[in-house]
Amino acid sequence: MKTFRFRAAVALDVRRRQEEAAEALLRRAEADWSSARAHWELSRVRVGEATGQLASTARGGAEGHVLTWHRNWIVGLQTEVERSGQVAAQMAVVASQALRVWQTARRRRLVLERLRDRAWERHRQAENREELKLIDELARTRYVTARASMEGNQE
């Protein structure tokens, strides 16, 4: 019996490499998204802290220009919150797209692996059939030989 050879082995290797590349992109996109979310959260915390500082400064009887400076500072921090929120949303979209690309690549690899497994099973079954044919032939030969020698002894 011939050795097993999967004709689409090269295609399966290509699919594996595509999946690995897609997985690397997915990991990078998820890391970027996580970093962007962390930056957004930190920006929100800074706005809260700045608002607390403004209230503390106002209670301390600060002059008007100091309060105006704090308000302008808070507006700048709020702008950073909005910007980092937009970046986080964009990174979420990129991560979602990377996830879909990886899922597609994985599905394509799994299809070829299932085809390979089915081909291997058919090959194994063919080997078993060949082996059974040889065993049957051997048994038939032994039976015929034994029968012929018994008939030869009876004559």
Share of the chain above pLDDT 90, in %: 82
Amino acid at 57: T
* Contact (Cβ atoms closer than 8 angstroms) between residue 88 and residue 36: yes
Enumerate the domain spans of the chain: 9-115
Q: Which CATH number applies to 9-115?
A: 1.10.287
Per-residue pLDDT tens digits for 85-122: 999 999 999 999 999 999 999 999 999 999 999 999 99
pTM: 0.74
**Helix (H, G, I), strand (E, B), or coil: what is residue 108?**
helix
If one compares 2 and 19, the residue with the highest pLDDT of the two is 19
C-alpha radius of gyration, the chain, whole number: 37
Q: How confident is the model at residue 155 (pLDDT cuts 50, 70, 90)?
A: low
How far apart (Å, rounded) are the C-alpha atoms in residues 72 and 76?
A: 6
